[in-house]
Amino acid sequence: MDTYATLRIGDKELQLPLINGTEGEKAIDISKLRAETGYITMDVGYGNTGSCQSAITYMDGEEGTLRYRGIPVEQLAEQSTFKETSYLLINGRLPTRDELTRFSVMLNDNSLVHTDLKVFFQNFPRESHPMGILSSMVNALRSFYPSLARNTEEINIIMTRLLAKVRTMATMSYKISRGHELVFPRPDLTYCENFLNMMFDSPVKPYEIKKEVVDALRVFWILHADHEQNCSTSTVRMVGSARVNLYAAISAGIAALWGPLHGGANQAVIEMLKEIAEGKGDYKKAIERAKDKNDPFRLMGFGHRVYKTYDPRARIMKKMCDELLESLQMSDPLLDIARELEEVALNDQYFIDHNLYPNVDFYSGIVLRAIGIPTSMFTVMFALGRLPGWIAQWKESQDDPQWKLSRPRQIYTGHKKYDYVPIHAR
Ligand code: CMC
């Protein structure tokens, strides 16, 4: 087997070591390239660039495979809980019964937030997007809980605190935005049940926790729990590479996830489906617009940088969407439009040629609507699911013996040197 690749530039030859992953992934190590040749590589959007070696998540975009710590996501969605999957991602293996109990106790112990945080929430302008609020508030947590991550025990507390408190904070922002009384976490409820109860329970109308809704939320969060080096996770790692605290790194990840090409796509899908519904269900127009190179419109919830086949998460989400609506005896006109849109797109030559398939966000918005989550909070739901992944990736990067400050280079294309001219002489 080859152990290096040979690069020839002019009469100079350089041997570049090859790196192999456990699933046969291959890389060329170019870390000495600039020092030895003066060249850098150019890879806008990093589609061909590995930024780290990671043992957390494996995905194969051609096969449609996704595994957390080696376990297929389908098995976790079927049998695990979000809490257990979070433990798996962060600690690298499934917990024993005792470890899981300890983890639950720690999550419960940390689930209340400082009451002063309420003042922050109340002072955001009414129109603020919940993702902007969440990103700011997670950053603010550092001021409320300033303890440093000096040892494993302290790091564990900060990680658990984030998992427990961000869930509470998300429900607080929802309640405050509606002018409703806050509902506090209950130790007798599971992680998912607690979230639903804090969101929807009220003194005037007690919330009935339904098994199928809890299950849908559990699967939704497990499917979002990690996705290797995507935009927000790379942001967490990049910001973390400057050795900032975990809160600041996660806050940056939330900001990146907000974008409609990334986590914001779940909200954008529903807005697109609503627009189609308002235009009397003319989904063919949306397909034509998506194909028109002079129109910036894209079919939201379609396409992926890595998956060139059906996103395995979308397959599970679609099935779950059907099951949830059926068991709740609900119908959603947007689901009918989504189904028709998918069928037309999958048979359209443009989508076939470009390998464009539904991604996780195509059906997730319909699931969230059925649960009762308002559209503006969809991306917050994604962020809550992605938290364990961000934490695991941050932890791995901080422990990495090959750790380095992230600092890409560029090819400068601006002016050549010229002299400053004082304003009176211009
Ligand atoms: N609708 C129409 N055309 C598309 C779409 C789409 N949704 N996605 C990609 N294309 C076309 C694009 O126009 C380009 O065409 P051409 O080569 O003829 O110029 C080609 O496919 C490649 O596009 P790209 O932008 O270079 O590909 P990318 O790998 O950077 O795109 C993407 C990935 C997710 C940004 C893109 O597919 C997209 O914008 N999708 C819609 C937004 C969306 O659903 N995002 C959620 C992603 S999954 C959730 C997550 O994990 O973040």
Residue ranges per structural domain of the chain: 4-60, 72-263+375-398, 265-371
Q: Ligand 1 atom 47: the closest Cα is on which residue?
A: 262
| Three-class DSSP category at 20 | strand
Residue numbers annotated as active site? 304, 361
Q: Whose CA is nearest to atom 8 of ligand 1?
A: 303
- For residue 294, the CA-to-ligand 1 centroid distance in Å is 15
Domains 4-60 and 72-263+375-398 share a fold: no
Question: Please, what CATH class does the domain formed by 265-371 belong to?
Answer: mainly alpha
CATH topology for 4-60 is: Rubrerythrin, domain 2 (2.20.28)
pLDDT value of position 312? 96
Distance CA 380, CA 385 (A): 9
Q: Nearest-CA neighbor of 52 among 403, 309, 368, 365? A: 403
71-72/65-68 β-pairing: antiparallel
Nearest residue (by CA) to ligand 1, atom 41, is: 300
Output the tens digit of pLDDT for each of the chain's 426 residues.
789 999 999 999 999 999 999 999 999 999 999 999 999 999 999 999 999 999 999 999 999 999 999 999 999 999 999 999 999 999 999 999 999 999 999 999 999 988 888 888 888 888 888 999 999 999 999 888 887 667 788 888 889 999 999 999 999 888 888 888 889 999 999 999 999 999 999 999 999 999 999 999 999 999 999 999 999 999 999 999 999 999 999 999 999 999 999 999 999 999 999 999 998 778 888 999 999 999 999 999 999 999 999 999 999 999 999 999 999 999 899 999 999 999 999 999 999 999 999 999 999 999 999 999 999 999 999 999 999 999 999 999 999 998 999 999 999 999 999 999 999 999
Q: pTM for the full model?
A: 0.94
Query: In whole angstroms, what is the distance from residue 347 CA to residue 304 CA?
Result: 18
Fill in the amino acid letter for 359: N
SS3 of the chain: helix, strand, coil, percent, to 5: 55, 5, 40
pLDDT of the residue at 296: 93
Q: Give the integer Cα–Cα distance in Å for 340 and 278.
A: 16
- Residue 210 Cβ inside 6 Å of ligand 1? The answer reads no
- Ligand 1, residue 263: give the atom nearest the CA: 52
Closest CA relative to residue 65, chosen from 266, 262, 310, 321: 310
- 72-263+375-398 sits in which CATH class? mainly alpha
